[in-house]
Structure 1
Amino acid sequence: MAGGSLKNLVVAFLVPLPSILFYLYFVRPGGDADASPLSSWCAEHPLLLANILFFFNVNVLFWLVGLLLSNHWLIDLYWTVIPVMLLHYYRGHPASVADAVRSMVAVALTWVWSARLTHNYLRREGWEFGKREDWRFNEMRGQYGKTWWWMSFFAVYLSQQVFLIGICLPMYAIHSSNQPWGIWDVAATATCIAGIIIAHFADTQLHKFVTMNEKLKKLGEPTVPTLEEGLWQYSRHPNYFGEQLWWWGLYLFAWNLGQQWMFVGPLVNSMCLGYVTVLVERRMLKQEHRAEAYKLYQKRTSVWIPWFRKAAPELKQKET
């Protein structure tokens, strides 16, 4: 492991410590400070406290680290970790009440989702920590110029609080009701599993495609402009579809528990991912070596939801 990667690994392990130590001392049942006024307040306001900890530990601390390193890579890695931490925070909070089966299923599903996404992130980064930041952040860095240092707080971190706290609200719902396990929980579980499986195969197929093209480049041979095999022949973004299926499946748990309003979390996240989809496709069309092939791919292939492909335009002309 390179020296820079090792340094970033140490940073990655240290940054969540303030929240963990605060939880162990002031929040955890049986903690040393159970009798303090602060502990009493924490026990009465689990959702508000989660937002406060997120603001100071992620928004402020991660932002400061990003400024020092001139690289906002931490939030990408912690997108795969924060949901797990939030789940166990809600589960271990003194105010937690939950059906044991539903809670255990939520824990198992979330850990599997996190392991899959973390593996994909590290595989994509060549198993190096902090190798690069999200290309969208890099583009915004160029757009905002000298103001990026403070704009990054809002664009990279504060916005992530809205998304992450929002989509993880069903984890709070699961640990705020002891309603018995039912048929809708089975449907929610099946939807979550389907989302994880689809995202895994889509990301693996994409990784193999990128790796193959990198090898072709080194050999000086023409690269393949567009991935149109496996799940990618039915959807232009099957990895995004699988990820959204996971979050909407998680929402079904909250819906079943009478917390229908929590749909705002996955809805906002889906809208954001819709915008990201537009950015990704614009980026593809700017690359001369694949622009024409990608235009044809757009005409033939569904955007998100996997569906049968349309006939190629040139084939339709011949038939008529």
Structure 2
Amino acid sequence: MKRSISFIIIFIIYILAFLVGFLTFFLLKQLNISFTLKIIISDIVATIFVWVSGVALKNSSVYDPYWSVAPMVIIPFFVSKINLSTLLLLTIIFIWGIRLTLNWAYTFKSLKHQDWRYTYFKTNYPKSWQFLNLFGINLMPTIIVISVMLPAFKYLENPRFNLITVLGALVSILGIVCESIADIEMHLFRKQNKNHTINNGLWKYSRHPNYFGEILMWWGVFIYSLSGNISFLYIIGPLALTALFYFVSIPLMERRLLEKKTDYLKYQRSTSKLILFPPKKH
């Protein structure tokens, strides 16, 4: 299947998924539940539609852009008033979402190709594959993304602008810049060094600076939202995101890198796992 045709199919799937989500939200208007809960349920229904599409196409990578696209679709629904703080928060989330979606598009080959992690789970856990596919690959990331957006949802009910807002914005912007530089460095490196481990730029100071940038982005949103006097319990969202990357994504990625790259063990021993930090000297 050609790359262009694959893009069109993905685009149609996402248009239909969000239409299904909007329809679900409309139907939920009859129920006496909170606006946020209606959005969450609608988001989950849209995710299930994407999962079904992936099953039909035999490719779970259909879900991959959902992580960055869904927040841009959802966040405008929570805007209660337009002011500087609201516009700044929306701008940060949209810049993050557009950049990450473009990065996905750049690396997307076609629907003939599936993320190696999904293939690994499908091959090694055939009996529980569809369970892992639905709950692990599709629903869990959706719930994680919703959890890191909850502080922003609450903040937008009563947006304020103060020094905490500025601090949060700076942390998020730093995260976006870090993730962007890391992705660009990796793309340039891979063109000429497919069998070696990147060890320059930000990758000299962290084995996963792209993940570090993603985590910073959402911690920034949490800090930003604190300026609206939200409950500190909303910290659960960024904590869950950090745990996902630190305890799931990174170990899975590094297990594969240790198998594929002979120089990765040396790099692993000398370089910080996540936070940017000067390399160890031996």
Q: Same fold (TM over 0.5)?
A: yes
Match of 1:266 among 215, 238, 247: 238
Partner of 2:207: 236
* 1:107 correspondence with 2:80: no
Cα displacement (A) at 1:149: 2.7
Deviation at 1:295, TM superposition (A): 1.3
> What is the TM-score normalised by the length of structure 1?
0.80
**1:122 has 2:105 as partner:** yes
Pairwise CA RMSD of aligned residues?
Answer: 2.1
**Alignment-derived partner of residue 11 in structure 1:** 13
Superposed CA deviations along residues 172-227 of structure 1, whole A, max 9, x for unmatched, are 1221224x31000000011110000010000000011112235xxxxxxxx4x110
Secondary structure of 1:176's partner? Answer: coil
**C-alpha distance in 1, partners of 2:20/2:252?**
35
Q: How many angstroms apart in 1 are the aligned matches of 2:73 and 2:84?
A: 19
How much does 1:5 deviate?
A: 4.0
1:145 aligned residue (111, 126, 130): 126
- Per the alignment, do residues 3 and 156 of structure 1 end up closer, same or farther by CA in structure 2, a change over 3 Å counting? same
Structure 1: give runs of 5+ residues left out of the alignment: 28-37, 215-222, 314-320
Q: Residues 54-133 of structure 1 correspond to what in structure 2 (within 5 A)?
A: 54-58=43-47, 60-91=48-79, 96=80, 98=81, 100-126=83-109, 128=110, 130-133=111-114
Which residue of structure 1 aligns with residue 276 of structure 2? 306
Between the aligned partners of 1:269 and 1:12, the Cα distance in structure 2 is 24
Aligned residues: 278
CA contact (8 A) 2:54 2:63 kept: no
Q: CA deviation at 1:108?
A: 0.5
Q: How far has the Cα of 1:256 moved from its partner?
A: 2.6
Does the 8 A contact of 2:172 with 2:220 survive in 1? yes
Distance 1:69 1:229, change over 3 A: same
Structure 2 unmatched runs, 5+: none
Name the SS of the counterpart of 1:257 in structure 2: coil
Q: Deviations over 1:132-176 (max 9, x none)?
A: 333222211112214423442222222123212101112212212
TM-score (norm 2): 0.90
The separation in 2 between residues aligned to 1:9 and 1:174, in whole angstroms, is: 31
Question: Once the 2 structures are TM-superposed, how far is the Cα of residue 255 of structure 1 from its aligned partner?
Answer: 2.4
What residue in structure 1 maps to residue 140 of structure 2?
159
Q: Distance in 1 between matches of 2:227 and 2:54?
A: 40
Residue 4 of structure 1 deviates from its aligned partner by: 4.0
Contact 2:13 2:50 in 1 (8 A): no
Distance apart, 1:233 and its partner CA: 0.9
Confirm or deny: 8 A CA contact 1:254 1:262 kept in the other structure.
Answer: no
Which of residues 215, 225, 250 in structure 2 aligns to 1:254?
A: 225
Q: Is the 8 A contact 1:232 1:238 kept in 2?
A: yes
Q: Partner of 2:258 in structure 1?
A: 285
Distance 1:199 1:7, change over 3 A: same
Question: Highest Rg: 1 or 2?
Answer: 1
User: Aligned partners of 1:176 and 1:82: how far apart in 2?
Assistant: 20
